[in-house]
Amino acid sequence: MTTKPQIDAALRDKILEQPDMILEDHDLMRALVAANERAMGGNVVDLRGIAMDRLEARLDRLEDTHRSVIAAAYENLAGTNQVHRAILRMLDPVDFETFLRDLGGEVADILRVDIVKLVLESVQSDTDPAVQRLGDVLSVAEPGFIDAYLTGGRGRPARQVTLRQMEEGSEAIYGEAAGWIRSEACLRLDFGKGRLPGMLMMGAEDPHQFAPSQGTDLLGFFAGVFERAMRRWLS
């Protein structure tokens, strides 16, 4: 015994002509599967429907992962472009004083950090006139200060890039700005054989801008370029 289809003829013909429209529509497929389960009654276990639900859940997880990977790729590309722009600006100056002043100005703005400081270890006093002129960017510390600052005096080798969060920054480095520093990137600098090390500091008011869980490849590359630029000025 047959029953007359309770559906508009034009719509029925359209579905028969293009059934892929329904197969590709998740909401329609869910409605059809739910209707089928209701028609079977509560005493029947639909293993195929259970399998479809599990596959759908797995597909949703894969799509979420896919979106996360794409977002991370775009973020990494943006970070790469940002570092490249900062390096190009850093290489523009033709004199050392402008080179250092740009660190705390345009280079810091490009990198979107609140403050940039260069710490150089030296046996000379920080009362040198050149140091005083550049005091907003440059500070001089006694030998051994950098490794002690990076390792907390625990004697382990200092990494090239250290990211960390804090309640407030070091006054010895950030001066009056130390009170609002909540995270920092510390880039240890090697100026070559026979020279004391340096450290480039990037401080941020945002406690989440720099964290130990973040990658350091781009900052490591920036530190490498900065080292080479400094060797040119120190030679």
The region, left, alpha or beta by phi > 0 then psi within -120 to 50, assigned to residue 106 is alpha
Domain boundaries of the chain, sorted by first residue: 95-234
The span from the CA of 187 to the CA of 160, in Å, is 6
End-to-end CA distance of the chain: 99
Say which CATH class 95-234 falls into.
Answer: alpha beta
144, 123 Cβ separation under 8 angstroms: no
pLDDT tens column, 133-145: 666 888 888 898 9
pLDDT-derived band at 221 (thresholds 50, 70, 90) equals very high
Whether the model clears a pTM of 0.75, i.e. scores above it, the answer is: no
Considering only residues 132 and 211, tell me which one the structure prediction assigns the higher pLDDT. 211
Query: What is the reported pLDDT for 45?
Result: 57
Q: Is the pLDDT of residue 118 over 50?
A: yes
The β-bridge relationship of strands 161-165 and 138-141 is unpaired
Residue range 57-84: average pLDDT? 78
Considering only residues 215 and 110, tell me which one the structure prediction assigns the higher pLDDT. 110
pLDDT-derived band at 1 (thresholds 50, 70, 90) equals very low
Q: What is the DSSP letter of 159?
A: P
Query: What is the reported pLDDT for 19?
Result: 74
Nearest to 231 by CA among 182, 198, 186: 198
pLDDT tens column, 158-208: 688 999 999 999 888 998 889 999 999 999 999 888 888 999 999 999 999
